[in-house]
Amino acid sequence: MWMTPKRSKMEVDEALVFRPEWTPRYLVVEPPEGNGALCLVCHRLVASTRERDVRRHYEAEHEFYERYVTEEERAALVERLQHGDLSIAAVLTPEEKAARAGLGLCRLLALKGRGWGEGDFVYQCMEVFLREVLPDHIGVLEGIDLSPEITRQRILSIDNNLRSQLFNRARNFRAYSLALDDQAFVAYENYLLVFIRGVDSDLEVQEDLLTIVNLTHHFSVGALMSAILEALQTAGLSLQRMVGLTTTHTLRMIGENSGLVSYMREKAVSPNCWNVIHYSGFLHLELLSSYDVDVNQIINTISEWIVMIKTRGVRRPEFQPLLTESESEHGERINGRCLNNWLRRGKTLKLIFSLRKEIEAFLVSVGATTVHFTDKQWLCDFGFLVDIMNHLRELSEELQFSGVFAATAFDHICTFEGKLNLFQRQIEEQDLIDFPAFSEVVDELKQQFKEDQKIFEPDRYQMVICRLQKDFERHFKDLRFIKKDLELFANPFNFKPEYAPISVRVELTKLQGNTTLWNEYRVKDLGQFYAGLPSESYPIIKGVAYKVASLFDSNQICDKAFAYLTRNQHTLSQPLTDEHLQALFRVATTEMDPRWDDLMRERIESTP
């Protein structure tokens, strides 16, 4: 097992330092307090000092200034802006300002998962506010149209704008990976969400939604494959640059003979491309692993309790934390599938376990069966499920941090597999120190059945843990095949050349003997270090860097989409075309900002 090397905390990371060349390029200066970058045009503070974030602000808000090309023009422009001369800025007419405000409001409605018709309600709220507080400005609302049809059109325009930005960046990808999530369930139809992660020559990472595929209309694997290839072709990407596939571990994805992964790997085989790395454990780790560890159909029983509580026990104070948690995730309306998925989270099960006495009393009061609370085996299974799902939750949370690269993510996986070995020994020795809920149940049963010396069967739970171990071994098998690449990427100066592939030994030896590069490695993060590594001198090592950096290192973007789906299931269940659904998911998951100037220009050109 290996660890990603720690950086010296005494050194300043160049990636977080304001660079003087950004002033003429992006029209920003270093603020007096020294944190972030202050825009000379709109005087807004860009909190992050990563060039990617500064550039995105400039491209999204101030593309007007790209007309100043030469160094002399840019220098004069900066000087005039610093002296407060904003006459050179693009002056928007009141109609254009109103249209831009309407676009921003439509984007906000999409981000919050509100229905198309709620735009009229927002308009009425603004009208009441202005009439009472700023009556002289009530006229600004005349150019804002938030009718349902206009809201739909604007959301689609924003989606097209974001998609064109993604495609422009995708043309510069040196390598990319796909994440295929087939767990999206909207309005009684299943969808496949296809996410892309790519890296350019500067090792800048871009994660975004590529497309969504309606599984009702693309039922066969061949149809799915065609839809994905069409999306890649539209983005200007070839399979020769694809490095990895991250999927759920459903049969549709990883079936041995008919799974989508096997089809895509066969299609991607080429003398000029890397072997496609596949791992299927990142996405919905808690949800899909719960089916392996729920040995007594605990979730189905608990879901019946929750439905009963929401219909007959909603006023009981002891259940308010549980109901509040449910409504924060799904709102007041919840369908059976989302309820089942919510209950398969370690955090939720832990909360329900703490309320088991109150739930039993409630079931007695409404005349429902309480046979499970007298079943010794069922109670032990419940306690074990709570603990093992809580451990899976901790791993899932560790895998939600992006920007650490796949090397660190794989390290978390290896650490958890070591924990599973420990759990096996603990269960065999009946040492439940890492199973607090299970231990609590066992202690209660020992008090209740004092004459019974055998409260639970260790073999039953060792079998479950063994099943998890085999699943992890199978799901992350390909990452073990490239373990040397991951270790080389994470720690190139401590990796022994004799253990490296023959093709990279000469470059690695030369790299480790370069004092200048060693000093850069100590003060930069991995992405910045490899971005500055000369491609002419180290082409193979840099190729390894492109490959590793393009692998998905977290489940963050998929969890963001899944949270948006479950939180807004009622809105998304309204009649929506696949095109509109894709637009909503893209707006909800992207880190890019729309280019408002382009949207305004398109609106003007489309107006007769």
pLDDT of amino acid 602: 75
* 274 in the same domain as 165: yes
* 363 in the same domain as 302: yes
Residue 420 pLDDT greater than 90, yes or no: yes
Rounded CA gap, 538 and 520, in Å? 15
Domain boundary among 83, 116, 133: 83
Q: Tell me the residue range of the domain where 266 lies.
A: 156-281+552-605
* 576 in the same domain as 443: no
Assigned domain for 168 exists: yes
The first and second tokens of residue 38, run together, are 């202050």
243 touches 485 (CB < 8 A):
no
Domain boundary among 479, 504, 522: 479
573 touches 186 (CB < 8 A):
yes
Residue 260 pLDDT greater than 80, yes or no: yes
**What residues pair up with 245 in beta bridges, in sequence order?**
178, 278
Residue 9 pLDDT greater than 80, yes or no: no
* 446 in the same domain as 362: yes
Among 190-204, 422-436, 483-497, 565-579, which is the least confidently predicted range?
Answer: 565-579
The structural domain count of the chain equals: 4
Assigned domain for 371 exists: yes
Assigned domain for 306 exists: yes
Q: In the chain, what's the furthest Cα-to-Cα distance?
A: 92
Residue 573 pLDDT greater than 60, yes or no: yes
Instruction: Give residue-wise pLDDT tens across range 345-377.
Output: 777 888 888 888 888 888 888 888 888 888 888
Rounded CA gap, 25 and 263, in Å? 45
Nearest C-alpha neighbor of 238 from the set 293, 283, 173, 327: 173
Rounded CA gap, 545 and 492, in Å? 10
What is the pLDDT confidence band of residue 14, given thresholds at 50, 70 and 90? Answer: very low
Residue 539 pLDDT greater than 50, yes or no: yes
- Taking residues 385-396, what's their average pLDDT? 88
* 556 in the same domain as 517: no
Assigned domain for 137 exists: no
Residue 575 pLDDT greater than 80, yes or no: no
* 462 in the same domain as 411: yes
pLDDT of amino acid 173: 92
Q: How many Cα neighbours within 13 Å face the side chain of 538? A: 22
Rounded CA gap, 401 and 553, in Å? 8
For 133, other C-beta atoms within 10 Å of its C-beta total 8
Mean pLDDT of the chain: 81
550 touches 197 (CB < 8 A):
yes
Instruction: Give residue-wise pLDDT tens across range 497-528.
Output: 888 888 889 999 999 999 999 998 888 888 88
Instruction: Give residue-wise pLDDT tens across range 64-117.
Output: 777 777 888 788 888 888 776 654 455 566 777 777 888 888 899 888 888 777
Residue 272 pLDDT greater than 70, yes or no: no
Assigned domain for 150 exists: no
Pairing of strands 205-214, 189-199: antiparallel
pLDDT of amino acid 231: 93
pLDDT of amino acid 586: 94
Instruction: Give residue-wise pLDDT tens across range 427-484.
Output: 999 899 999 999 999 998 888 877 766 788 889 899 989 988 988 888 888 888 888 8
- Taking residues 228-254, what's their average pLDDT? 88
- Taking residues 20-28, what's their average pLDDT? 86
pLDDT of amino acid 450: 74
* 470 in the same domain as 344: yes
The whole-model pTM stands at 0.81
Rounded CA gap, 543 and 549, in Å? 10
Rounded CA gap, 81 and 210, in Å? 38
pLDDT of amino acid 340: 62
- Taking residues 548-565, what's their average pLDDT? 85
* 266 in the same domain as 174: yes
* Ramachandran bin of 149, using left for φ above 0, alpha for ψ from -120 to 50, beta for the remaining angles: alpha
pLDDT of amino acid 158: 92
517 touches 511 (CB < 8 A):
yes
Assigned domain for 11 exists: no
* 391 in the same domain as 274: no
pLDDT of amino acid 13: 41
pLDDT of amino acid 403: 60
More confident residue, 250 or 313: 250
Rounded CA gap, 457 and 427, in Å? 9
Domain boundary among 37, 58, 83: 83
What is the pLDDT confidence band of residue 325, given thresholds at 50, 70 and 90? Answer: low
* 458 in the same domain as 415: yes
What is the pLDDT confidence band of residue 280, given thresholds at 50, 70 and 90? Answer: confident
* 356 in the same domain as 294: yes
Assigned domain for 124 exists: no
Rounded CA gap, 224 and 213, in Å? 7
Assigned domain for 102 exists: no
Cα dist from 338 to 188, 189, 206, whole Å: 12, 13, 30
User: Phi and psi dihedrals of 428, rounded to 5?
Assistant: -60, -40
* 397 in the same domain as 297: yes
**CA dihedral angle for residue 429, residue 434, residue 436, residue 439, rounded to 10 degrees:** 0
